[in-house]
Amino acid sequence: MKLDTTGLKSFIDNEKIERLLEEAKNADTQEVRKVLDKALLKKGLNFKDVAILIQNNNQDLIEDMYKTCHRIKQEIYGNRIVLFAPLYVGNECINDCVYCGFRISNTECHRKTLTHEELINETKALENAGHKRLIMVYGEHSKYDADYIAETVKTVYGVKEKNGEIRRANINAAPLDVEGYKIVKAAGIGTYQIFQDTYHQETYEKLHPRGPKSNFLWRLFGLDRAMEGGIDDLGIGALMGLYDWKFEVMGLMMHARHLEETFGVGPHTISFPRIEEACGSEFTKHPINEVSDDDFKKLVAILRLAVPYTGLILTAREDVELRNEVLDLGVSQIDGGSSIGIGEYSQHDEDEYKKSQFILGDHRSLDEVICELAKHGYIPSFCTACYRLGRTGEHFMELSKPGHIKTFCQPNALITFSEYLLDYGSEESKKAGADLIAREILNFPESEIKTELLKKIAELNAGVRDLYF
In this complex, which beta carbon is closest to ligand SF4, that of residue 56 or of residue 193? 193
Which position among 125, 369, 409, 414 is part of the footprint of ligand SF4 (CB under 6 A)?
Answer: 409
Which position among 272, 283, 358, 408 is part of the footprint of ligand SF4 (CB under 6 A)?
Answer: 408
Decide if 188 contacts 157 (C-beta within 8 A). Answer: yes
Site string for ligand SF4, 39-78 (x = CB under 6 A): ----------------------------------------
Torsion of CA 408, 411, 416, 420, to 10 degrees: 160
SS3 64: helix
Name 72's Cβ contacts closer than 8 Å, sequence gap at least 6.
39, 40, 42, 304, 305, 308, 330
Other residues' Cβ atoms within 10 Å of the Cβ of residue 352: 18
Q: How far is CA 371 from the centre of its chain?
A: 21
Question: Interacting stretch for ligand SF4, rule CB under 6 A, among 318-326, 369-377, 381-389, 452-460?
Answer: 381-389
Q: Which of 375, 370, 443 is nearest to 410 (CA)?
A: 443
**305 touches ligand SF4 (CB under 6 A):** no
Which position among 47, 89, 103, 169 is part of the footprint of ligand SF4 (CB under 6 A)?
Answer: 103
Question: Interacting stretch for ligand SF4, rule CB under 6 A, among 100-108, 155-163, 297-305, 336-344?
Answer: 100-108
Q: N- to C-terminal Cα distance for the chain?
A: 41
- Minimum CB–partner distance for residue 253 and ligand SF4 (Å): 22
Considering only residues 134 to 173 of the shown chain, the ones binding ligand SF4 according to CB under 6 A are 139-140
Name 77's Cβ contacts closer than 8 Å, sequence gap at least 6.
330, 332, 406, 409
In this complex, which beta carbon is closest to ligand SF4, that of residue 390 or of residue 463? 390
Decide if 68 contacts 36 (C-beta within 8 A). Answer: yes
Q: Please state, in angstroms and as integers, the Cα–Cα distance from residue 135 to each residue in 21, 132, 184, 190, 288, following that order.
A: 34, 10, 14, 9, 29
In this complex, which beta carbon is closest to ligand SF4, that of residue 150 or of residue 174? 174
In this complex, which beta carbon is closest to ligand SF4, that of residue 97 or of residue 253? 97
Decide if 240 contacts 199 (C-beta within 8 A). Answer: no
- Minimum CB–partner distance for residue 95 and ligand SF4 (Å): 4
Please state, in angstroms and rounded to a whole number, the distance separating the CA atoms of residues 331 and 184. 28
In this complex, which beta carbon is closest to ligand SF4, that of residue 370 or of residue 386? 386
**133 touches ligand SF4 (CB under 6 A):** no
- Contacts with ligand SF4 by CB under 6 A: the residue count is 19
**226 touches ligand SF4 (CB under 6 A):** no
Please state, in angstroms and rounded to a whole number, the distance separating the CA atoms of residues 267 and 171. 14
Which position among 69, 300, 305, 385 is part of the footprint of ligand SF4 (CB under 6 A)?
Answer: 385
Q: How far is CA 124 from the centre of its chain?
A: 22
Name 11's Cβ contacts closer than 8 Å, sequence gap at least 6.
220, 254, 255, 258
**381 touches ligand SF4 (CB under 6 A):** yes
**191 touches ligand SF4 (CB under 6 A):** no
Positive or negative torsion for Cα 325, 328, 330, 336: positive
Which position among 405, 437, 457, 460 is part of the footprint of ligand SF4 (CB under 6 A)?
Answer: 405
Question: Interacting stretch for ligand SF4, rule CB under 6 A, among 98-106, 220-228, 294-302, 456-464?
Answer: 98-106
Q: What element of type H or E holds 334?
A: strand 333-335
Q: Please state, in angstroms and as integers, the Cα–Cα distance from residue 95 to each residue in 91, 98, 367, following that order.
A: 11, 9, 36
**87 touches ligand SF4 (CB under 6 A):** no
In this complex, which beta carbon is closest to ligand SF4, that of residue 103 or of residue 354? 103
**100 touches ligand SF4 (CB under 6 A):** yes
**412 touches ligand SF4 (CB under 6 A):** yes
**267 touches ligand SF4 (CB under 6 A):** no
In this complex, which beta carbon is closest to ligand SF4, that of residue 195 or of residue 263? 195
- Residues near ligand SF4 (CB under 6 A): 82, 93, 95, 97, 100, 102-103, 139-140, 213, 381, 383-386, 405, 408-409, 412
